[in-house]
Amino acid sequence: MAETWEDFGELAKEERYQAKSKLGKIFSFRTLKKCLKLLMYILVLVVYGLLFFRLCTGKPPKTLSEILWTESVYNAYEENGEKFLVYEQEPIESMAKDGYFGISDIRYIPSAKSFQLTVRYNNSSIEALEKSLIQKETAKRRADIMAENPGIAEAALEEKLSASLAEDPIVIDDLGALPFVFVLRDDYGNVYSEYSYIHDSKTVYQYMRISYENVTLFGSGEQLAPEKNYPTPDVSMPGYIYKGTHESDGKEVHYLYLDMYYANDVDVYSETFAYPLQVYTETSDLIRYDFSDEIKSAPVSDLTVVHIPQSSKEN
């Protein structure tokens, strides 16, 4: 009997709805519920669409995730043949804490002493650099006014600064897509400031595939610990003990950091523009990397080579 009354109630509701005018149906509670339900579906689709878009655009172009065949890497491959080894390691920090830069696709090639990685940054990082340069120039002008007017009151200082900025506004020249340079730094204080790179862009992201030379992770002087000897080609992990022609004879690198600087104002011993990224640590395993699908017939010809001055005095 209860079901009969419920059915009767639903039927009565339907009759009342059908009896409404067209305008009344449009502004009815039933239409409102349908609209809210439709909006919810659209919102879910938009969220998933944005997530899919970020996943697609956040992945570097294929050429910028493969081995960068510099001349030294290609020569090492030609000389070593089947004994040519490439290792990979998952990034310790794939994204900097300030969110400005990210890294991926770390490779190490012992025979070429080449450490490679892909750097990614959003165009908002360039905007942050421009803002930082404006703030730096503003601080310089404030300091100049204080030097010319010792003991000047804060209100008068701000008035003079405002007048200076109004008369001669701070204008930052177009920074372009590649205003940054990147330095590797190890736990011994060594700075690796020469590298080769290729570049590409994708939506709002800039990508650089970078190869640093003369990076000896496994040592090049007197060996300190036997468990860190240079790996033989027939083992999967470079941490395995090996004594022979591939034995390491120097200090192994314990970790590497990536520092970022504005290209037109570099001092590798000063504060970096963004939060440094730890890109390597000996406590994480290096794994043999299968590069068979990435072999080229010649070195890359369109590399850009960067030499970063070791101090501001060399600029």
So what's the pLDDT on residue 237? Answer: 45
Write down the mean pLDDT value for the chain.
80
Name the CA radius of gyration of the chain, rounded.
Answer: 30
So what's the pLDDT on residue 19? Answer: 64
Is residue 169 pLDDT above 50, yes or no?
yes
pTM for the whole structure? 0.72
* pLDDT one-digit tens code per residue, 200-220: 988 889 999 999 999 988 875
C-beta separation of 196 from 210 below 8 A: yes
Contacts of 47 (CB under 8 A, 6+ apart): none
Top-confidence residue, 46 or 149: 149
Chain position carrying tokens 């192994």: 252
**pLDDT confidence tier of residue 23, bands split at 50, 70 and 90:** low
Top-confidence residue, 8 or 96: 96
So what's the pLDDT on residue 51? Answer: 66
Question: Strand, coil or helix: what is 246?
Answer: coil
So what's the pLDDT on residue 37? Answer: 82
Question: Can you tell me the mean pLDDT for 76-102?
Answer: 88
Is residue 2 pLDDT above 90, yes or no?
no
So what's the pLDDT on residue 7? Answer: 55
So what's the pLDDT on residue 25? Answer: 60
Spatial CA neighbour of 104 closest among 89, 115, 114: 89
DSSP conformational letter for 138:
H
**pLDDT confidence tier of residue 53, bands split at 50, 70 and 90:** low
DSSP conformational letter for 197:
E
* pLDDT one-digit tens code per residue, 70-80: 999 999 999 99
- Cα separation of 8 and 11, whole Å? 5
- For residue 138, give both structure tokens: 């503003």
DSSP H/E element including 159: helix 154-167
Contacts of 118 (CB under 8 A, 6+ apart): 60, 64, 65, 103, 104, 105, 207, 208, 209, 210
DSSP conformational letter for 95:
B
**pLDDT confidence tier of residue 239, bands split at 50, 70 and 90:** very low
